[in-house]
Amino acid sequence: MPEETTDSLKPYTVYLTDKEAQEIEDSGRGESLSRKLEYILSDYRKLQHEKRVFKSIDLFAGIGGIRLGFDRAFGDEIETVYVCEWDEYAKKTYRLNFNDSFDIAGDITAEKEEKIPEFDLCLAGFPCQAFSLAGKRMGFDDDYKGMSRGTLFFDVARICEFRKPKVIFCENVKGLVIHDRGRTFEIIKGTLNQLGYNVYTAVLNSKDFGVPQNRERVYIVAFRKDIDSSSFRFPEGEKRETSIKDIMEKEPVSVKYYLSDVYLETLRRHKKRHLDKGNGFGYEIRDIDGIAGALVCGGMGRERNLIVDNRLKDLTPVTHIKGEVNREGIRKMTPREWARLQGFPDSFRLELADTHLYKQLGNSVTVNVIEAIAREIKKVLDRDREKNRRPDV
């Protein structure tokens, strides 16, 4: 609190009941009446700020990409109160980048919904699973939530049914839309509707949101039906052209990212075999003036986004390889370059072994897309809050 001076004090007439005056006197802080009132006003401002803060939970959190996008969009008006992620290595990266006072929960199926703190926004990047057939076997033909039983989406549904948050946000692979001949997607939307939500969906491409990655994902936004969400629109993106060159490391990278000539020849033979069979599967060298393919964590994920980088002059191997380092400048992108393709800032800490980081980043979301959607969600919530705001007394 600032020191009281006669220059900073102005005379005001305040009418109080005996009870109000006694409550101020009993507040226990400050010697003078003006100082006591100053403390009370400070508490009031803090309370008003807390009322403006939306509480969120982060389910299937990965390394926190969805949370990061919402944090950017909501600023100091969002607070994460619960996080759940089962992968221990993902948890390590998450903890490096978010300073929470609580532990990260593990198995979502073992979490009791009543134990999860109250929240306004549920953020969930749940895995894609089939469940329409299982539901029909159990007699849930018209019960969408019942059809989802036995899947991880069911846990999202049961938690949100109990807490009734204002918004449920989900991200998934584009294939979810046609998964199990479209039944999976219909059950998800039907479940959210039965829980009391208006559901909006869209397939968006990361390349339209300022990153050079061709990554289409489906996004689901569900607003509780007592909130007027009729004005909600998914963002269209910036359509700003970017290229791989924009996200490349500024300095030459370690020789460990360069392929050996033996491995490169193996990839070429592998691709030729598939081409001869009429398949398009195989490694791919990207033009650095173009964009990357979708980052994936398994199979040929790294080899589908190779680049040519001739800046490194010392090609002495630093790991045990067959043959020698290729002389064509062909290398994998680094984890930091993958992070940039996903919209993570360079301040985001990547301290685990590369094997884990590639998996985590391939499994993650494009932060730029999440942020753009979150800004549109916030517009709806701000309008709803303004509509329901009572004048201060």
| Contacts of 268 by beta carbon, 8 Å cutoff, 6+ apart | 283
Q: Determine the 3-state secondary structure of 17 from DSSP.
A: coil
Measured between alpha carbons, how far is 333 from 352 in angstroms, rounded to an integer?
16
Measured between alpha carbons, how far is 315 from 325 in angstroms, rounded to an integer?
6
Whether 128 is catalytic is yes
In the chain, where does DSSP find H-type helix?
18-25, 33-52, 65-74, 88-97, 132-137, 144-147, 152-163, 183-194, 244-247, 261-276, 335-341, 354-363, 367-388
- Catalytic residue from among 84, 122, 128, 160: 128
Residue among 226, 174, 179, 231 at smallest CA distance from 200: 231
Q: Nearest 10 degrees: CA dihedral of 73, 77, 79, 84?
A: -30
Measured between alpha carbons, how far is 181 from 275 in angstroms, rounded to an integer?
28
In residues, how long is the chain?
393
Q: Determine the 3-state secondary structure of 139 from DSSP.
A: coil
Q: How many CB atoms lie within 10 A of CB 9?
A: 10
| Contacts of 265 by beta carbon, 8 Å cutoff, 6+ apart | none
Q: Which residues are catalytic?
A: 128
